[in-house]
Every structure is written in structure tokens, then in C-alpha cells.
Structure 1
Amino acid sequence: MIPIRIQTDKKLFRYYTGFSFFIFIFYWKGVREKEIIINHELIHFYQQLEMLFVFHWLLYLLFYLIARLKGKNHDTAYYNIPFEKEAYTFEHNLHYIRRRKLFAWVKFI
């Protein structure tokens, strides 16, 4: 399955340059490193796909809320979500998706 890419005129949620939701990847047209953003969001797409989308979103929210309840600020909570750790670690590796193992994000817990 290949996601549908949608270019937007504005940054998403005020400052995000990319966002993956269901079968769509949204990205801001003003982004400098478009390939990197799309690769980052493709990693999220495959994370969502392997967890049937809904379970990914629920677990993503759970990781975030647990971090916030532990007193972490928004940025720290966001960057410590295992899904984000995997995506940020491999976003510059444009071949990562081809050899990514199922549930690779678990290594980042």
C-alpha cells in the first residue's frame, strides 16, 4: 500500500511541516527537505499500517500522555515517543523503508 501525498499551503497545526494520517501524507509545500519529511512520514505510515491505524494512534497518545503526566514538557514528550524516535533516527536514510522490520519502533521503548 502506498500513501497519498498531499501538499499544503500552510504548516500543519501551526508549525509541523509533515503529518501522516491513515492513507494520507500531508506536507507543507515550503519545506526545504521535502524528501526527508516524506520519508519521516512514510515511516509513520508503515507504523500505522502494521498496527491497523487505530491502535497506533491510541498507543501514540498513550506514550505522549504518560510522558506529560511524568512532568515532561510537550517537546520532550513528543520526541520521546518511540514512533518518533524511529522516524527521526532513520528519516535521512531514504532506503530504510525497504528493509524496515515489522514493529521496529519497539526497539525505541
Structure 2
Amino acid sequence: MILISKYLVPKGYVGITIFPFIFLKHKFLKTDNHLVNHERIHLKQQLELLILPFYFWYGLEFLIRLMVYKNWNKAYKNISFEREAFVNEKDLDYLKSKPLWNFINFIKT
């Protein structure tokens, strides 16, 4: 389910996925198929890891990458879940054939 909330989406971002919802900052973003697909990939990732472990892994990986890169944006873009979503967001059929736990292929140091 896609909801609109400029208050729940952090500054500098246009969307956030908190299972089972996708929050977008503006209503017109619902028509951005690549953005919506990106967020749906996160929904699938959250389900694969049974939701709570996803958030733990995401947060831990972000903190590690922040220490490594010392740059918020670079750390965020290098989280394995984000890398998988960014690489595949333009493939609107990706979720039909997404391999289980494919984000592992996007882990790098």
C-alpha cells in the first residue's frame, strides 16, 4: 500500500518503505514507476528476512559503511539492499524472477 506523507519521509529522500507500507513524499511520485519498483524491492527484501532482521541488518550495515566512507550519502548508496534496489529499479519485471536473498550478491567492502 502506498501512502503519502511528507513528514515520515526523511529530508533529502522521496520515499521510504516500512513494511507493509511505502511512504512517498508527494502524491505525484506514485506515477514514478522506477521509484515505486525500487520501494517494492525493499518490501520483498523485508519479507525475505522476516522484517525485523532486515531493519537490524540494514542499520548495522549502514553504520559500518558510514565508518568506512565517512559520508552519509555514499554509505547509504552502498548498503547491499540499496544497491540491489538501485540496480534493478528500472526492470519492472525484476520482482517476478528475483532470486531469494539476492541482496547478498551486492555486499562488497
Residues 1:67 and 2:65 are matched in the alignment: yes
Give the structure with the larger helix fraction: 2
Gaps of 5+ in 1: none
Residues 1:5 and 2:37 are matched in the alignment: no
* Corresponding residue SS for 2:34: helix
Runs of 4+ in 1 over 6 A off after TM superposition: none
In the alignment, what sits opposite 1:21? 18
Counterpart mapping for 1:1-109 below 5 A = 4-8=1-5, 12-27=9-24, 28-31=26-29, 34-109=32-107
Gaps of 5+ in 2: none
What's the % identity of the aligned pairs? Answer: 35
Q: TM-score, normalised by structure 1?
A: 0.88
Describe the shift of the 1:29–1:94 C-alpha distance in structure 2 as closer, same or farther (beyond 3 A). Answer: same
Q: TM-score, normalised by structure 2?
A: 0.88
Deviation at 1:62, TM superposition (A): 0.6
Q: How many residues are aligned here?
A: 106
Deviation at 1:96, TM superposition (A): 0.3
